[in-house]
Amino acid sequence: MYELMLVANVDRADQLLSRVEKNLKEANAVAISVDRLGKKPLAYSIMKQNDAIFFVVSFEAESGSIKSVWDKLRLEQEDLLRYLLIHKPKVKASKKSRKVAAKEEKDEEKEKPKVTVAVKKASTVKSEEERVSEVRKVSKVSKGKKTANKKSIKSKKGKSKKE
């Protein structure tokens, strides 16, 4: 997989692109796709040009045929301001990324768990007032037992001293 970036003269960009595509077809390139990035201002003037049209051409070809494409690009000096041809290696997914992708697919396939809601009847639910009154009753009973226990302890102590 190769990528060719072209910076073309504004006036003759379409003619240049057709010639480049023709050269790629002669070099037995397949899957040619052209992305037109449009007219953009240049950071600095090139051959007295302040604006240029940018193209990105992606294609697949054998490495031996790339030299002929490169040589023909060097001859396009009037219409072609700059160019860059790079080889993009096919990246195989690592084992870790394959595992993550497989796990995501499994998660998508699983159905979402059903949620059941338990509803209590109104008679079993105690109001706040009933709860407070029960707490008061319990606390009164426990206070009474504590005072009764203290009295019995005092009385036992007193008896043991007298004897």
> Is residue 58 pLDDT above 50, yes or no?
yes
**4-8, 16-20, 76-80, 147-151: lowest mean pLDDT where?**
147-151
Three-class secondary structure of residue 3 per DSSP: strand
Distance CA 143, CA 7 (A): 94
pLDDT digits (tens, 9 = 90+) for 21-54: 998 888 888 888 899 988 999 999 988 889 999 9
From 52-61, 117-126, 147-156, the region with the lowest mean pLDDT: 147-156
- pLDDT of the residue at 105: 72
Rounded mean pLDDT of 4-19? Answer: 90
Q: Across the strands, what pairs with 54? A: 7, 38
pLDDT at 151 over 60: no
Q: Could you tell me the pLDDT band of residue 139, with boundaries at 50, 70 and 90?
A: low
Q: Is the dihedral of CA 34, 10, 78, 6 positive or negative?
A: negative
d(CA 121, CA 119): 7
Structure tokens at 148: 């009764």
Please state, in angstroms and rounded to a whole number, the distance separating the CA atoms of residues 32 and 34: 7
Question: How many whole angstroms separate alpha carbon 13 and alpha carbon 54?
Answer: 9
Encode pLDDT of 72-127 as tens digits: 888 888 888 998 888 887 766 666 677 777 777 776 666 666 677 776 665 555 56
Return the CA Rg of the chain: 44
How many Cα atoms sit within 13 Å of 86 on the Cβ side?
8
The residue type of 25 is K
Q: Quick one: tokens of 2?
A: 């190769």
Q: What is the pLDDT of residue 40?
A: 92
| pLDDT (0 to 100) of residue 51 | 93
How far separated are the first and last CA of the chain, in Å rounded? 111
Q: Is the pLDDT of residue 163 over 50?
A: no
